[in-house]
Amino acid sequence: LDQPVEMKTQQDLHVATPVRESLALTKLAGTSIYLKLDSSQPTGSFKIRGLGHLCKTAKRGYERFVCCSGGNAGMAAAYSARKLGVPATIIVPNVTPNITVEKMRDEGATVIIHGKLAFVYKGKATHLWRSSKELEHDLKEKPGAIVLSVGGGGLLNGVVEGLRRANWADVPVVAMETMGAHSLHAAMEAGEHVTLPAITSVATTLGVAKVSAQTMKLSQEHPILSEVVTDQEAVKAVERFVDDEKILVEPACGAALAAVYSGIITRLRDERKLPQHLGPVVIVVCGGNNISLEQLDKLKKQLGII
């Protein structure tokens, strides 16, 4: 490690994304639903926020970025590396679709396909989530709840940090998972930091068997409502969302959208777990790269939805 690589850009690697009301989802839920459109991030998911920040603030003297991820984190890392002018190596499991590998190579990254890897996920709590500032600006009033998907918990960790910084520490988080990738729910039910025996959900990008320690900690400190939907509900939500909002997202994101499409917000209000007089509910549309119409069709057939 001789010469430090000169970082190419001082600008943020992520973009400020719109928060807009969803007519269709508001109508369905009977309460105001807003969408945080992180599907419109470079590389298609919110991951660029945390990973972009991490890569930018990486200590000088590093010659190369290395990331283990066959999914959105890998894409975000590859993109960040290109923008910063730093070489990148992405190590992906052999189940990674060819098209994803190609996309990473298009970003200039070296991609190594490495058999069936067990990834150790470190949900970095240092993800600075400036989107809370964006929320404050675009929303103009305090949210009634934030709805998001939970894989390893990185997004949740970042959102709670953002809420605390905005003095919105009492805003509940509705943490959505799919059955078979419900590491947070399992841990909260058990009252301890358990590991799922296997990931059986099609929402593979939620597929972290043990949620991050930080998320576990926050589940005891912050109002978090943990809810689980089936794969069918998540995929149906993806389908309806394309019609309603013209955006195609992964089933992992569908899990969050199912909070409205499967009536969970309504139920939580009926159960008084969310107040009747609810401020705007913001769904984080985390996005995701690994989806196409063809893949959606395959999933529907696989899940018996067609």
Partner 1 sequence: MAEVFHLKTPLLESINMSKRVGTTVYLKMENAQPSGSFKIRGIGHLCQQLARHSKGVICSSGGNAGMAAAYAAQKMGVPATIIVPSSTPPLVVQRLHDQGATVRIAGKVWDDANTEALKLAETEGLTYVPPFDHPLLWEGHASMIAEVTASLGPSVKPGAVVVSVGGGGLLCGVIQGLKDVGWTDVPIVAMETVGAHCFNAAIKAGKLVTLDDITSEAKCLGAKTACKQAFDYSQSSELTIISELVTDQQALHAIQTFLDEERVLVEMACGAALAAVYSGVIVRLQNEGRLPALMGPLLMIVCGGSTINMEQLTNLKHKLQS
Binding mask 141-170 for partner 1 (x = CB under 8 A): ------------------------------
Q: Is 24 in the site for partner 1 (CB under 8 A)?
A: yes
Q: Is 203 in the site for partner 1 (CB under 8 A)?
A: no
Q: Which is nearer to partner 1, 35 or 202 (CB)?
A: 35
Report the DSSP pairing between strands 145-149 and 110-113.
unpaired
Among positions 117, 247, 303, 305, the unique one binding partner 1 when judged by CB under 8 A: 247
Tokens read off for 81: 């590396």
293 vs 249: CA distance, rounded Å = 10
Q: Is 20 in the site for partner 1 (CB under 8 A)?
A: yes
> What is the rounded (10 degree) CA torsion for 78, 195, 282, 240?
80
Chain centroid to Cα 48, Å, comes to 10
Residue-wise over 139-167: b if at least 16 C-beta within 10 A, else e?
beeebbbbbbbbbbbbbbbbbbbbbeebe
Q: What is the CA radius of gyration of the chain?
A: 19
Among positions 8, 62, 85, 106, the unique one binding partner 1 when judged by CB under 8 A: 106
Chain position carrying tokens 């105001």: 32
Among positions 1, 2, 6, 11, the unique one binding partner 1 when judged by CB under 8 A: 11
90 pairs with which residues across the strands?
Answer: 67, 111
Q: Is 243 in the site for partner 1 (CB under 8 A)?
A: yes
Q: Which is nearer to partner 1, 39 or 201 (CB)?
A: 39
User: Which residues of this chain interact with partner 1, rule CB under 8 A?
Assistant: 11, 15-21, 23-24, 27, 37, 39-42, 44, 103, 106-107, 138, 239, 242-243, 246-249, 287, 289, 291-294
